[in-house]
Amino acid sequence: MAKVLVTGAAGFIGSHTTDLLLREGHAVLGLDNFRTGHRRNLAGALASPAFELLEADVAEPGVVARAAGRFRPDAIIHLAALVSVQESIQDPVLNRRLNFTATELVAEAARRHAVGRIVFASSAAIYGDTTDLPITEETAKQPISPYGEAKLQSEGVLLAAGAGLTARCHRYFNVFGPRQDPASPYSGVISIFERRYREGQGVTIYGDGRQTRDFISVHDVARANVIAATKPGIASGAANICTGRATSLLDVVAEFARHYPQVPPPRHAAARAGDIIHSLGRPDRARTELGFAAQVSVADGLAELIRAG
């Protein structure tokens, strides 16, 4: 059994990661200030004697260090962040605090209290709008937002931490699944579409719908996090957390239409300037270094999301 401190534990990815850690028999201390996370996401975790929740701001100096000093975790999974790219543009100071300074504080706490491993929520946003597909870990890093810049700088801090600390930086692609808030400015297209279909409304597709994404289930992402935090013999490094399969918006809409045949067909609007047309990751490094491969298909993930709604 490992002891794992999870920052952002009440969030979309954080709560699923926490649930999986508990199911596998680990003890978890969750930190969250509920800026974007929800207590309801932790309903199952709060019923477990192996889970403790600390309501606190990870970006506040001393918070993570005190928690690590008391809990003595074997690993920290650092998921707390400013999660909106648009908000990072509107408030770059806040983005810097939540997406970079907080990472520095997590790394400092790990060094001070001999935490052996950090798993960090990075993002495919560090690659910018590259058209060099599939995206590998060696693809040029050209973030086009303060959000992506802070994620890339955070990777640098963690991977330069030196001996005694294993750092795994997970570059998530398009994560979807239950508990993703469709009202959030960060929400992916799938959670927005799911709400509109559930409410009996049609959806709007900007462009022809042939644009593609590498959609990955939150269950697979949680599994990658748990492997990286608890599997023996893991070395420091960065890896894409993706499926390596491209899914178009037309494919997504077709799946929703199978479940909601009464909902009107999608409307099409002019493509939005700046939208990335295609995104696809290469998952080989995660398979080699973590023994991780995505298992949940988009169709199965959508079916679960619809049932949960």
Higher pLDDT, 75 or 184: 75
- Residue 158: pLDDT band with limits 50, 70, 90: very high
> What confidence tens digit (pLDDT) does each residue in 243-296 have?
999 999 999 999 999 999 999 999 999 987 767 889 999 999 999 999 999 999
| Residue 36 within a domain | yes
Q: Is 206 a catalytic residue?
A: no
* CA 156 to each of CA 81, 175, 257: distance values in angstroms, whole numbers, following the listed order: 17, 23, 43
Q: What is the domain count for the chain? A: 1
| Residue 198 within a domain | no
Cβ partners under 8 Å of residue 227, min gap 6? 234, 290, 291, 292
- Active-site residue, selected from the candidate residues 127, 147, 197, 260: 147
> What confidence tens digit (pLDDT) does each residue in 183-240 have?
665 568 899 999 999 999 989 999 999 999 999 999 999 999 999 999 999 999 999 9
Structural contact between residues 9 and 42, judged by C-beta atoms closer than 8 angstroms: yes
| Residue 100 within a domain | yes
pLDDT of residue 184: 63
Q: Is the dihedral of CA 171, 120, 117, 2 positive or negative?
A: negative
Residue 100 confidence (pLDDT) above 70: yes
pLDDT of residue 42: 98
| Residue 221 within a domain | yes
Residue 162 confidence (pLDDT) above 80: no
> What confidence tens digit (pLDDT) does each residue in 20-43 have?
999 999 999 999 999 999 999 999
| Residue 255 within a domain | no
Closest by CA to 305, choosing from 215, 204, 213, is 215
Structure tokens given for 71: 């809990």
CATH code of residue 167: 3.40.50.720
The residue range of the domain holding 68 is: 3-176+217-242+282-294
Percent of the chain exceeding pLDDT 90 equals: 91
> What confidence tens digit (pLDDT) does each residue in 110-140 have?
999 999 999 999 999 999 999 999 999 999 9
- ∠ Cα 246 128 249 (to 5°): 30
The whole-angstrom separation of Cα 160 and Cα 137 is 17
Q: Is the pTM of this model over 0.75?
A: yes
The three-state secondary structure class of 210 is coil
Which amino acid is it at 173? Answer: F
The three-state secondary structure class of 42 is helix
Strand (E) or helix (H) holding 237 = strand 237-241
Which amino acid is it at 176? Answer: F
| Residue 204 within a domain | no
- Work out the mean pLDDT of the chain and round it to a whole number: 95
| Residue 184 within a domain | no
The whole-angstrom separation of Cα 301 and Cα 294 is 12
